[in-house]
Structures are given as C-alpha cells and as structure tokens.
Amino acid sequence: MSIAAFARRIELQTRPIHPETEAALQKRWAELPEHARTPEQLLGKCAVGCEGTHGVFPKCNLTCSPCYHSADANKVRIDGDHTVTEVTKQMALLRQIRGPRAHAQLIGGEVSLLPPKAHRDTLKAMRAVGREPMSMTHGDFDYDYLLDVVLDDDGKPAFEKVSFAAHFDSLMRGRRGAVRPRSEAELNPFREKFAEMFIDLKKQTGVKSYLAHNMTVTPTNLDEVEQVTRDVLGMRYDMMSFQPAAFIGDDRRWKENFEEVTIDAVWDRIEAGAGQKLPHKAVQFGDPRCNRHTVGVMVDGRFASVLDADEPKDIAARDRFLKHYGGMIFGDIPRWALTVKVIRAILSHPQDLPPLIGLMSRIVKRGGGLRAVIRAARKGKVSFKTFVVHNFMDAEQVKPAWDMMKKGIVSDDPKLKETQERLGACMYAMSHPETGELVPACAQHSVLDPIENIGLRTLLPLEPKGERRTGISNGKVDELVTDGSRW
C-alpha cells in the first residue's frame, strides 16, 4: 500500500461521518413518509433503523399464546449451514443499502436451537459487514451453550462483546422449571438466572454483554407490567422492551382481545413500575403509533433521562447533535481511531461544546446531583437504561395495505391508510437478496413468513415422525424427538 493510499485510509477511518453512512442516512430520510419527517425523528438523521433475519431457523421449542410464527414454523428442520449462508446473503444486501453500521437481530424461532458453532459463525458473518448483532432467545438454555457460542474452537473469546434479548412472560409454555407459569413473578428466578450467566461470562472470559428483556403484553398480564418493570430494574438488563400483542402468526394461539392493550396503557404501567415519569417525546424512531422509546442513566434507582422535550435547552442540544454528529459511528472502532474521530468532530464545531456540556450537567442534576452520582458509581449503581414499547399491527390490515403499497396505491380507507403510513415509516426491516428489497417487519411476519415457511418445509424437512437423532443441547449430547418436541 502506498503512503498516499494509507493516508486516505486513515483519513476515512477517522472522519467523523463516513461518506457511505451519510449517503445511507440521506436515502433513509428521503424514503420516509412526510408525516414521519419531524424534528424528533432519528431515522435518516442518526440511524438507518434496526434490521432482522428471516427464513433461517423458524423452529421454536416453547409454545406461546400468542405466537407470531406461522403454523408451519415448527415443521422446518434447524440447519446451521443454511442459517449461516442465508444470513450472510441478507446482511450483504443490508450493508449495500444501509451503509457500514446498523443493529441487526438474529431472529427466527429459537436461536439456541442452532448448533453453537453455527450460532457463532452467523454472528461473525453479521459483524463482518458492520452489523451489531443481537441474538433473540427465550433464555431457556444453559451456560455451557453460551460458552460454546462465544468461545472459538481453541477456547479463546470469539467476540469482545455479545448482545442477547431474552423473552420472558407468563404466556409462554414449556420453559424448564416453569412449564405453565401462573404469574409474571414466577418467572423472576429465570430472569435473574439468565442475566447472571452473562455476569459469569464476563468474569470467566472477559466477554462483555448487552442484555435486553422482552415481554409480550395482553389483557392477561397488562396489570403485571408495573411489577415486572420494578423487578427487572433490579437485574442486570440494559433494555426493557414491551410488545403489546397483535393478531399475527398462528391464529390457533389467539386467546384474547389484544386490541384492549394500547401503547399508552403499557407505558403508563412502565412509568408506575419505574416510580416516575419517563420522558419520550424528544426522540422518535419511525412512527409514534409503532414505537415509544427513552434512554437515560439509572442512578441508584433514579432514572435520569438524556433528553426531555419539556426542556428547551435539551431540544436545542438535540438539534445540534443531530445536525453535526448524527451519522457518527462509535461501535467496533479501534480506540485510537475513535479518539481522533471525536477530536476532529469537536474541532469542526467547537461552538457545540457549551450546549453539550450543559446537557450533561442537566442529566447529572436529574440523577440527584454530582455527589449522588459519585456515591452511586462507587456502589456500582450507575448504568444506562433504555425503555421501549413496540406496537405491532394486525395481519388483517397489513396484508391488504402491503399489497396496495406494492402496486403504488394509497388506500382511501382510514384504517388501511394508517397501516400504510406506519409501514412506510417502519424502523425494523428484513432484506430479500433475491429481489433487492427491504421489507417492514410487520409485512414480513404477516405476509411473507407463512409463504417462506411452506417452502422451507420442503427445503429443510423434519426427519420422519418418531425417529430420533442425537444432537447438542445446552452443551450436552441429547436426543431430539423430531415431531416438534423440545430437546
């Protein structure tokens, strides 16, 4: 490599905003529907949105009501090579369209049914194209499986950090030790055990982690959201995500009127569990009817939001940041390069320092003041927390709305038009390399998953019913009954 080429490479690596990121953000903003182009919108300003996999391992070994998987999902064999190959293709298209950095979920059925090596290789493939992967799981696996995922064949860490999202709620059936839970509180030991595995992982291997706690909400457990919030805040989770149930997937699992649970009703109970208001109007991902989000610092049980829409100085600081630094990438960058990148950004806009310092001081004040923050930090009781509600849409509306969108038709039916608006502003998409298309998650689950799973039954058929084969589950050799039973 010539000196000139090396210099160009270093300049690009330390440039505050990568030109490909800038182009991807501009494209994302231009694609948003007009109603979503608001000052608080983060898509197209500092994020391209979240990404997810599809058609790679639809099988699950728990039964839930509701279940978003199609009726054919458990009739598809888990195949590690298929998963690695297809995820690699899907991530390549996302890298091409959405630039060098994004968060992506390794999602399908139950990720821990993948052989550990295939799980590890898939995460590597995602990271190879700048994706920050999060493995989506019900959390019912053992520590040995986790070790087999994060350690290479030579026993050395394959990653500096891993991200997992564990789904726990009383609507799930088949969890070891809680086959049919009667309340959310009954699951707290399992929530704690899952989080503690990652504490042990850090101590044993040095591998850090980011953990999300997911929960589906229906009329049955809506009033338990408050206590779940209170309980999980005392555990080692970085994010708490709640999803009001929608009529998607296997209709045999629809037992309640999910329309009774609104995004406002869920948020009210989260705030009750947190013991305070959680400001969320300063930032928005996608459509406000779909997502609600706030991030802040937890200081010894007190949540200090990063931004509050009722504070004009916060909004001014937000606008400055989005304008000048919105496309900066901070993850998976060598420390030296990140340091130079930040210095270059500050030198480019030195007038932004006072407002940003002011914002930091207000966050500290919300946390009880500098002394309180220092005391809490000494006790290890300072951490970042994110609260999220994702409000999915019913397949009954998504199917016709998506069909019309594909034909370029804007519906004159109020409900379908709303559905089209929400699909157009979706923050969560899956890629289809065969068509070059990115598909909103609700359209993927409502329209495409059932079709894909029918095809996968032929491509990856289960072994004849009643036959057994050996396999690895939770790090141990065991047998699988191939009619859909759990390990």
**Concatenated DSSP letters for 329-385?**
--TT--HHHHHHHHHHHHHH-GGGHHHHHHHHHHHHHHTT-HHHHHHHHHTT-EEEE
Which residues sit opposite 242 in a β-bridge?
215, 389
pLDDT given at position 396:
93
Distance (Å, rounded) from C-alpha 358 to C-alpha 313?
A: 8
Distance (Å, rounded) from C-alpha 383 to C-alpha 209?
A: 13
- pLDDT of 162 over the 60 cut: yes
Distance (Å, rounded) from C-alpha 81 to C-alpha 56?
A: 10
C-alpha to C-alpha distances, 453 to 13, 93, 105, 168, 294, nearest whole angstrom: 41, 21, 19, 25, 35
Distance (Å, rounded) from C-alpha 74 to C-alpha 89?
A: 23
C-alpha to C-alpha distances, 81 to 86, 296, 402, 426, nearest whole angstrom: 9, 40, 32, 30
Residue type, 326: G
Q: How confident is the model at residue 403 (pLDDT cuts 50, 70, 90)?
A: very high
- pLDDT of 468 over the 70 cut: no
DSSP structural state of residue 399: H
- pLDDT of 251 over the 80 cut: no
- pLDDT of 133 over the 90 cut: yes
- The 10 Å Cβ neighbour count of residue 476 is 11
DSSP structural state of residue 202: H
| Phi and psi, residue 112, nearest 5° | -75, -5
- pLDDT of 476 over the 60 cut: no
Alpha carbons within 13 angstroms on the beta-carbon side of residue 242 total 28
In angstroms and rounded to an integer, the radius of gyration of the C-alpha atoms of the chain is: 23
- pLDDT of 466 over the 70 cut: no
- pLDDT of 475 over the 60 cut: no
Return the minimum-mean-pLDDT range out of 176-190, 211-225, 432-446, 473-487: 473-487
pLDDT given at position 485:
33
- pLDDT of 470 over the 70 cut: no
Average pLDDT across the chain, whole number: 92
Residue with tokens 């019900």: 138
> How many percent of the chain have pLDDT more than 90?
85
Q: How confident is the model at residue 131 (pLDDT cuts 50, 70, 90)?
A: very high
Q: How confident is the model at residue 21 (pLDDT cuts 50, 70, 90)?
A: very high
pLDDT digits (tens, 9 = 90+) for 26-45: 999 999 999 999 999 999 99
pLDDT given at position 1:
74
Structural domains of the chain, with CATH = 38-311+382-481 (3.20.20)
- pLDDT of 159 over the 90 cut: yes
- pLDDT of 465 over the 60 cut: no
> How many percent of the chain have pLDDT more than 70?
94
pLDDT given at position 16:
92
- pLDDT of 183 over the 80 cut: yes
DSSP structural state of residue 464: P
Q: For the chain, how many helices (H) and strands (E)?
A: 16, 15
pLDDT given at position 259:
76
H/E/C letters for each residue in 106-174?
ECCCCHHHCCHHHHHHHHHHHHHCCEEEEEEECCCCCHHHHHHHHECCCCCECCCEEEEEEECCCCEEC
Torsion-angle region of 484 (φ positive above 0: left; ψ -120 to 50: alpha; else: beta): left
Q: What is the mean pLDDT of residues 86-99?
A: 97
pLDDT digits (tens, 9 = 90+) for 324-337: 999 898 887 888 99
- Range with top average pLDDT, 55-69, 255-269, 298-312, 466-480: 298-312
**More confident call, 11 vs 149:** 149
- pLDDT of 479 over the 60 cut: no
Q: What is the mean pLDDT of residues 86-101?
A: 97
Strand pairing category for 302-305 and 291-299: antiparallel
- pLDDT of 70 over the 60 cut: yes
Torsion-angle region of 468 (φ positive above 0: left; ψ -120 to 50: alpha; else: beta): beta
Q: What is the mean pLDDT of residues 124-133?
A: 97
Give the pTM.
Answer: 0.92
- pLDDT of 47 over the 80 cut: yes
Torsion-angle region of 301 (φ positive above 0: left; ψ -120 to 50: alpha; else: beta): left
pLDDT given at position 5:
87
Q: What is the mean pLDDT of residues 292-312?
A: 97
Q: How confident is the model at residue 464 (pLDDT cuts 50, 70, 90)?
A: low
